[in-house]
Amino acid sequence: MALIVQKYGGTSVGTTERIRKVADNIAKFTKQGHQLIVAVSAQSGTTDNLIKLAGEVNDNPSGREMDMLLSTGEQITIALLAMALDKIGVPAISLTGPQMGILTDNAHTKARILSIDHSRIKKELNAGKVIIVAGFQGISEENEITTLGRGGSDTTAVAIAASIKADLCEIYTDVDGVYTADPRIVKNPSKLNVITYDEMLELASLGAKVLHPRSVEVAKIHNVPLSVRSSFETEKEGTFVVNKEGLEKNLVVTGVASDKNTAKIGIFDVPDTPGIAAKIFERLGQANVNVDMIIQSATRNKKVNDISFTVPKNDLYHAVDVIDSLQEEMGFGEVVCADDVAKISIVGAGMVSSPGVAAKMFTTLSNEGINIEMISTSEIKVSCVIKNYGDNVNKAVCSLHDAFDLDKIGK
């Protein structure tokens, strides 16, 4: 008997027929004697729709009321799924995040889970019930409903799995695993049987969108056995996300990702003295702006340098406000920003021991006539910011996928 956490995404519970299929899949596991906790998303389109409704009454709604609104989407699915399970004779109970004891900080619309109380979980599991929990939500110490950011149901599932030390955490979605590139962009991507947490983390935060980045972070920290698989073809094995040690040989390049939800900011003539960068990024952090690529140029005239960085598109104006408010105090020059950019990245745990990977990426982009505006590298990835116009971004992804022979992985 195993303790399994499953998560079903929006399309997997998109219709009542799909919800019945999910109930059947859950029943398959309970019949084998496993204990199950199931986190679910809102039905596909629901959260978007709620956001649209909010916009119709207020173009700048408070985070608290947004969370109050958005958390309702998941509440619909948990009740329907519990009813569907009851109908086929599987004892189940639906619980909201707060009922489940999911305590978060109070960063509305992007809260982080602080702890999960086990008392309710134990009680229901001991009573032989499948627990159906609303993903993406929790409760703050101030007793307010919070949500974890778009796509946050994955994080609910992984955090529960980590907290109760589940034997397995399965993320059911509308694709049958993690691919070397987005199948909507590339014609012949390969499915990966295994991927490391680090690679997945990069791909998740780079816009591959299979998993919520925070969920992979939590899985990595707590070593949660994680798999991504299809709720439409439940017989198919998905992709396992494992430790680097779990792989015999790391691939040089595992995937190519693009992220159009990015904007760049450049600050010119920043005085070259200790503490300036610290202050800029500390303020951005306090304002809850997620900063990604940071590039500082070499010092000019021994006095100033330029700092540029990227942020998610919807944080752009907020970030620019924060920077503007520092201008007088710090005495830097012009601040420029652009949101017509995208980030293209190649990821692979084997890159670190394989020279020439970055050069090959740059050559491939230049052969396509694509100009590189920013570059950043880590042990397992190379990212470039390019202009997002026409089919530039898709062209970049496809040519990199070809250049690194990613269609041939596992074949």
Q: Give the residues lining the site for Mg ion (CB under 5 A).
A: 9, 151
What are the tokens at 158? 């992984």
User: For residue 360, what are its two tokens?
Assistant: 């090959």
Q: Would you say the C-alpha torsion 188, 192, 195, 201 has a positive or negative sign? A: positive
22, two tokens: 């999910």
Distance, in Å, from the CA atom of 273 to the CA atom of 266, rounded to the nearest integer, reads: 18
Contacting ligand ASP within 57-76 (CB under 6 A): 73
Which listed option, ligand ASP, Mg ion, none, makes contact with residue 231 (CB within 5 to 8 Å by class)?
Answer: none
Q: Is 151 among the residues that bind ligand ASP (CB under 6 A)?
A: yes
Q: How far is the CB of 5 from ligand ASP (least distance, A)?
A: 14
Rule CB under 6 A: say whether 135 interacts with ligand ASP: yes
Torsion, CA 285, CA 135, CA 174, CA 397, rounded to 10? 0
Total residues interacting with ligand ASP, rule: CB under 6 A: 11
The nearer residue to Mg ion, 151 or 348, going by C-beta atoms, is: 151
Report if residue 180 touches ligand ASP, rule: CB under 6 A.
no
Smallest separation (angstroms) from Mg ion to the CB of 331 = 44
User: Would you call 238 helix, strand, or coil by DSSP?
Assistant: coil
Q: Give the residue with the Cβ less far from ligand ASP, 20 or 150.
A: 150
> What distance in Å separates the CA atoms of residue 339 and residue 313, rounded to the nearest whole number?
6
The interface partner of residue 150, options being ligand ASP, Mg ion, none and the CB cut-off 5 to 8 Å by kind, is ligand ASP
Closest CA to 180 of 154, 156, 144, 206: 206
Minimal distance in Å, beta carbon 364 to ligand ASP?
A: 33
Identify which range of 148-156, 317-325, 386-394, 399-407 contacts ligand ASP by CB under 6 A: 148-156
Instruction: Specify the residue for token string 């430790």.
Output: 243
| Type of residue at 56 | E
Pick between residue 172 and residue 197 the one whose CB is nearest to Mg ion.
172
Q: Which residue is nearest to Mg ion (CB)?
A: 151
**Is residue 112 within the footprint of ligand ASP (CB under 6 A)?**
no
- What is the Cα gyration radius of the chain? 22
Q: How far is the CB of 146 from ligand ASP (least distance, A)?
A: 13
* Interaxial angle between packed helices 213-222 and 153-163, expressed in degrees from 0 to 180 and rounded to the nearest 10: 10
What residues line the site for ligand ASP (CB under 6 A)? 10, 41-42, 47, 73, 135-136, 150-153
